Amino acid sequence: MNEMLYGLKGTILYSGGKDEIRVAEHGTVVCENGISRGIFPQLPDCYRDIPVYDYTDRLIIPGLTDLHVHAPQYSFRALDMDLELIEWLNTHTFPEEARYVEKEYAERAYEKFVKDLRKGATVNAAVFATLHADAAKILMEFLEEAKIRSLVGKVNMDRNSPDDLCENTGKALADTKRWICETREKYDYVSPILTPRFIPTCSDELLRGLGELQRKYHLPVQSHLSENRKEIAWVQELCPETSCYGEAYDRFGLFGGECPTIMAHCVHCTEEEIALLGKRRVTVAHCPQSNMNLASGMAPVRRYVEEGILVGLGSDVAGGTSLSIFRAMAEAVQVSKMRYACMDDRLKPLSVEEVFYMGTKGGGAFFGNVGSLEEGYRFDAVVLDDWNLRSVRRLTPKERLERIIYLGDDRNVLSKFVEGERLF
């Protein structure tokens, strides 16, 4: 499918780094075999005869990355958002996730999730499924078919969970191993990621086993970290020998270093934990809307940026209600401003440039050379039509992008390319 050479012409925007959005007005980005050959104001001679699809003055940006999303929770997004994390898990999340033991239910629900995810600007996603390996495989099939580059996790949980969501440790590890072997080389776009739910639901034995699987199969890991104060206190109770929540993963080799790791939330990390995040090159999935909805708090993202910690954005559906990473960008700015205004004015608010970086290159880095349209990156492009967001006043390309970040939705996603292939 990748033997192709063509250009897309339009107003191209991409992150030039944390503090810069670069613009190529009436530029052309060249795709060869699924890889960008660069962005050109005028096509050089060697590309003179290639087909160019001209999107005129529409915006072309790299595909976005959702670093943290729970597929089975999509069915109850935006409902009963009046609870905090632990209560919400028990009242809504666990009963819903238990239903994914039925393959027929999983098929209906995951089909809907993937269909809606595909419509938006997200090209890469790190996805939690449930503990049901069969349902996780169904989800992987749908994502593969939709050409959404994804890391999908069969969830592991063997304690402090309702009976119908509590795995036997040995069986959990055996199921996980089988699922890894069945899926790790099966797909073009989808691969497995180890997914201990979070420390409160994972015994040491389970984590030890997952650590062994990690080293055997060189898989990445995703989990939750320091989201909610009550949760953190609970972890401290469960793991009195660790000095921070992160160490509870780190003991078993599940916290960065040789093990590529996404930790969602990181709202209340201690100094020691922040140092460990940096040292182990863990990627933080910042989920501002979820942190608001579940009254978790406001993550010190400016601090992470200053410390050089890797940060991307997550929708965290259904702690977050919306699959849109544009909305996550806007909310990351907004939450950083609330934090600045009300908690700590030493950490200045995030800029649009910074959150655009996080939603493209920042999160994309976890998936390889993705998240930009610059030469050498995977050719994942989203064409945006902002016809419904026009002003009486003429906007610059960067202003148009900013308006889409604050106000856009899937109506604005006109076309989407993954590794050079046009999805719609």
* Interface residues toward a second copy, by CB under 8 A: 75-82, 96, 105, 108-109, 112, 289, 292-298, 321-322, 330, 333-335, 337-343, 349, 351-352, 389, 391-393, 395, 399, 402-403, 405-407, 409, 411
Q: Nearer Cβ to a second copy, position 39 or 292?
A: 292
Closest distance between a second copy and the C-beta of residue 422, in Å? 23
Q: Nearer Cβ to a second copy, position 50 or 389?
A: 389
CA angle in degrees (0–180, nearest 5) for 271-306-371: 120
Closest distance between a second copy and the C-beta of residue 168, in Å? 28
* Numbers of helices and strands, H then E, in the chain: 15, 17
Closest distance between a second copy and the C-beta of residue 343, in Å? 5
Q: Nearer Cβ to a second copy, position 8 or 317?
A: 317
Closest distance between a second copy and the C-beta of residue 177, in Å? 30
Angle between helices 169-183 and 133-146 (to 10 degrees): 20
Closest alpha carbon to 221 in 203, 244, 246, 238: 246
Q: Nearer Cβ to a second copy, position 33 or 388?
A: 388
Closest distance between a second copy and the C-beta of residue 78, in Å? 4
Q: Nearer Cβ to a second copy, position 253 or 397?
A: 397
Q: Nearer Cβ to a second copy, position 165 or 310?
A: 165
Closest alpha carbon to 134 in 184, 173, 100: 100
Q: Nearer Cβ to a second copy, position 326 or 367?
A: 326
Contact 164, 131 (CB under 8 A): no
Contact 61, 27 (CB under 8 A): no
What SS3 state is found at 248? helix
Cβ-Cβ contacts under 8 Å for 115 (sequence gap 6 or more)? 146
Closest distance between a second copy and the C-beta of residue 266, in Å? 15
Going edge to edge, which strands form the sheet with 421-422? Answer: 35-40, 20-32, 5-17, 52-62, 381-384, 413-418, 421-422
Q: Nearer Cβ to a second copy, position 102 or 212?
A: 102
Contact 287, 328 (CB under 8 A): yes
Closest distance between a second copy and the C-beta of residue 142, in Å? 13
DSSP 358-384: IIIIIHHGGGSS-S--STTSB--EEEE
Contact 136, 161 (CB under 8 A): no
User: How many CB atoms are located within 10 Å of the residue 345 CB?
Assistant: 10
Closest distance between a second copy and the C-beta of residue 149, in Å? 24
